[in-house]
């Protein structure tokens, strides 16, 4: 028998899965977060193509469920660090938006006024 083919094991098929532990409302909530991430990122692409998003845009297209699902399993005491392509995880645990601080930005960015205007445009959408 080739090593890639595994024999059917009936005891494994009847074993409880983590999926079975979730209620229909929890599954629906996870789907809602995944769709929300997809919608936001699709709008960000439109803004990026209009040069209204500064820097790079790193989408999580096709990875929304993974991001939401892993964050959904976290406890309140667990830590989650922001990375690229994990907007879904951050939204699932409820990370709040922090507004820009013009005095701080003007000290570090030569074109801080343009950055602030671009951010206001993005928030307006």
pLDDT tens by residue, 12-33? 455 555 656 888 899 999 999 9
Q: Give the pLDDT confidence score for residue 81 in this predicted structure.
A: 80
Q: What is the pLDDT of residue 31?
A: 92
Structural domain spans, the chain? 17-94, 98-125
Residue 4's pLDDT band, with cuts at 50, 70 and 90, is low
Check residue 1 and give its pLDDT: 46
For the CA atoms of 34, 64, 53, 45, what is the dihedral angle to 10 degrees? -90
Residues with Cβ < 8 Å from 46, sequence gap 6 or more? none
The whole-number pLDDT of residue 114 equals 67
Q: Which phi and psi (to 5°) does residue 77 adopt?
A: -90, -5
What sign for the dihedral angle of Cα 102, 123, 73, 69? negative
Three-state secondary structure readout of the chain: CCCCCCCCCHHHHCCCCHHHHCCHHHHHHHHHHHHHHHHHHHHHHHHHHCCCCCCCCCCCCCCHHHHHHHHHCCCCCCCCCCCCCCHHHHHHHCCCCCCCCHHHHHHHCCCHHHHHHHHHHHHHC
Q: What is the pLDDT of residue 115?
A: 61
What is residue 90's predicted lDDT score, i.e. its pLDDT? Answer: 86
Q: Which tens digits make up the pLDDT trace of 33-88?
A: 999 999 988 998 998 898 888 788 888 888 898 999 999 888 888 888 878 888 88
């Amino acid at each position: 028998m080739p090593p890639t083919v595994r024999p059917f094991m009936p005891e494994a098929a009847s074993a409880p899965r983590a999926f079975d532990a979730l209620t229909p409302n929890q599954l629906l909530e996870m789907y809602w977060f995944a769709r929300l991430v997809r919608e936001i990122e699709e709008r960000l692409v439109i803004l990026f193509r209009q040069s209204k998003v500064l820097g790079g845009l790193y989408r999580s297209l096709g990875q929304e469920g993974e991001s939401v699902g892993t964050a959904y399993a976290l406890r309140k005491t667990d830590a989650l660090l922001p990375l690229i392509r994990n907007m879904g995880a951050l939204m699932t645990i409820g990370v709040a938006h922090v507004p820009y601080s013009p005095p701080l930005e003007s000290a570090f960015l030569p074109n801080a006024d343009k950055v602030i205007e671009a951010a206001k445009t993005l928030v307006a959408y």
